[in-house]
Amino acid sequence: MANEEYLLTSDEARALLQIDEQTRVEISLDLGLSPTEVSIGAEGLLLPSGLRVPRGQLEEMARKRKRIFSLGPDGPEPVEIAGEHYYKLTPTDGAPTLEIDGIQMHRTSKMEPFEDSRRKVEGTVGAGDSVLDTCGGLGYTAIWSVRLGASRVVSVEVCPEVRELRLVNPWSREFFLAAGQIEPVEADVLEYILSLEQESFDSIIHDPPRFSLAGELYGAGFYAELLRVLRPGGMLFHYTGAPYSRRGVRDFPSEVTRRLKETGFRARREPQKLGVSARK
Ligand SMILES: C[S@@+](CC[C@H](N)C(=O)[O-])C[C@H]1O[C@@H](n2cnc3c(N)ncnc32)[C@H](O)[C@@H]1O
């Protein structure tokens, strides 16, 4: 996979295969961000670079579901990394989400991931803020922090595979364009936070994987560190999702709210945002 390659989803490949006559059509080669005119016909898809994607390759892509392919000279390659865990970019109606071992890292039901990320940041990050983005992922919460006025965002991501997918994802471009304001940190935030000065951030976005995958990021010890690095009066947004709610066995956001209060935050649930807002 390489940065700045043309990207096509399996749904888009399927739609192109409906066209038999040689013609020019507008499609997106960057997951819906911008339109590009291409030519399509019996010989396949002709990209603006001159690269041809034969119909057989389009058919191969169309057979898969919810995939993104990078269109390189060696043929289409799925945007995924398989190793000890399986990481992939998954298309949605808006920005792609990140999937780790089949678990989506953003809301995609009734909400598109970029909008989901705006909601996580809005109301917490203020103009001129220095922000700690604990779980950087594809960079959406960092991008929204800058868009909403942050002057500096320290964005921590532990996983090299996720950082590689972030490089390929066109929706993450602003993360790199805002290099003066966004400082990417390649580290485990549980360790990294210990190295931070106390009261060094105006706001914190804490958007961890779900509790069953990263319980330590919901623990009292980590919450105490969040409190320590936040300035007095500073704001935290903690995304929790609503796990266990369908079975009605636990009210998880309330448990997080209680634990944040015990740590010393003033915290309240934000049901619309599936999280908890807290002030130091
Ligand atoms: C829900 S996603 C974050 C989405 C992100 N806020 C965005 O805007 O795309 C959680 C991310 O936290 C990362 N992560 C998990 N444990 C971590 C840790 N201990 N330190 C830093 N990042 C971690 C995962 O690799 C994953 O990319």
Name the residue of 131, 144, 158, 236 to mutate for ligand 1: max ligand atoms within 8 A of Cβ.
Answer: 158
pLDDT value of position 1: 52
Q: Please work out whether the CB of residue 209 comes within 6 Å of at least one atom of ligand 1.
A: yes
- The interaxial angle of helices 140-147 and 113-121, nearest 10 deg, is 50
pLDDT value of position 179: 84
- Residue 147 Cα, ligand 1 centroid: separation in angstroms? 20
Read off the pLDDT band of 158 (50, 70, 90).
Answer: very high
Ligand 1: nearest atom to the Cα of 159 = 25
The H or E element spanning position 44 is strand 44-46
CA 34 to chain centre: 19
Token readout for 210 is 């779900």
CA distance 145 to 151: 9
Tell the residue nearest (CA) to atom 25 of ligand 1.
159
For the cut 70, the answer to whether the pLDDT of residue 54 exceeds it is yes
- Residue 160 Cα, ligand 1 centroid: separation in angstroms? 11
Domain with CATH 3.40.50.150 in the chain: 105-279
Q: Please work out whether the CB of residue 172 comes within 6 Å of at least one atom of ligand 1.
A: no
pTM for the whole structure:
0.95
- Residue 231 Cα, ligand 1 centroid: separation in angstroms? 23
Q: Regarding the domain with residue range 105-279, which homologous superfamily does it belong to in the CATH classification?
A: Vaccinia Virus protein VP39 (3.40.50.150)
The pLDDT > 90 percentage for the chain reads: 87
Name the residue of 114, 135, 145 to mutate for ligand 1: max ligand atoms within 8 A of Cβ.
Answer: 135
Tell the residue nearest (CA) to atom 8 of ligand 1.
140
- Residue 157 Cα, ligand 1 centroid: separation in angstroms? 6
Q: Please work out whether the CB of residue 141 comes within 6 Å of at least one atom of ligand 1.
A: yes
Q: Please work out whether the CB of residue 156 comes within 6 Å of at least one atom of ligand 1.
A: yes
Read off the pLDDT band of 244 (50, 70, 90).
Answer: low
Express each pLDDT in 181-223 by its tens digit.
999 999 999 999 999 999 999 999 999 999 989 999 999 999 9
Sheet holding 52-53, edge to edge: 23-28, 35-41, 44-46, 52-53
Cα–Cα separations (whole angstroms), residue 190 to 115, 180, 267: 27, 25, 21
For the cut 80, the answer to whether the pLDDT of residue 74 exceeds it is yes
Ligand 1: nearest atom to the Cα of 106 = 1
CA distance 128 to 111: 28
CA distance 192 to 10: 39
Averaged pLDDT for residues 101-106: 94
Ligand 1: nearest atom to the Cα of 134 = 21
pLDDT value of position 119: 96
